[in-house]
Amino acid sequence: MEETIEKTGLLGKLANFFNREDEEFEEMDDAPVRSQLRVHTVHRYSVTIRRQIVSFNDAVAAADGLKRGEQQIMNLSMCAPELREKIKDFMSGVNYTAEGTWEELGEHVFLLAPASALVEVAPASQRMVAAKN
């Protein structure tokens, strides 16, 4: 009579570790392999819309959000022209360091996305091209 012994592999040990109730850690080597491993991935993604940036402190808050991995949509239309350029230069540096994406959405409205975000820019429609001319 032949007896088959199942040896638990690394994946089985991990499955048993996360699915065990009150088993001792040492007993995990003798535990049978689970047939299914359920993994639930939770994606957390934040988008911050800054409708009116009127001071450099607002830009610093946007930079901190970008550093945390949060997408920023900034409206700089309410800024004075000198401050607008200063903020754009500052945010360009932060975005470059974060290896993020910078897109102009409209006049003085910008999208800054972290490197982990996929930003797809659709080609301009004929109506959009005509409006710029």
pTM for the whole structure: 0.58
Average pLDDT in the 103-110 region? 92
Exposure string for 38-49, b = 16+ CB within 10 A, e = fewer: eeeeeeeeeebe
Confidence of residue 93 (pLDDT cuts 50, 70, 90): very high
Domains of the chain: 1-40 (no CATH), 47-117 (3.30.110.150)
Percent of the chain with pLDDT over 90: 39
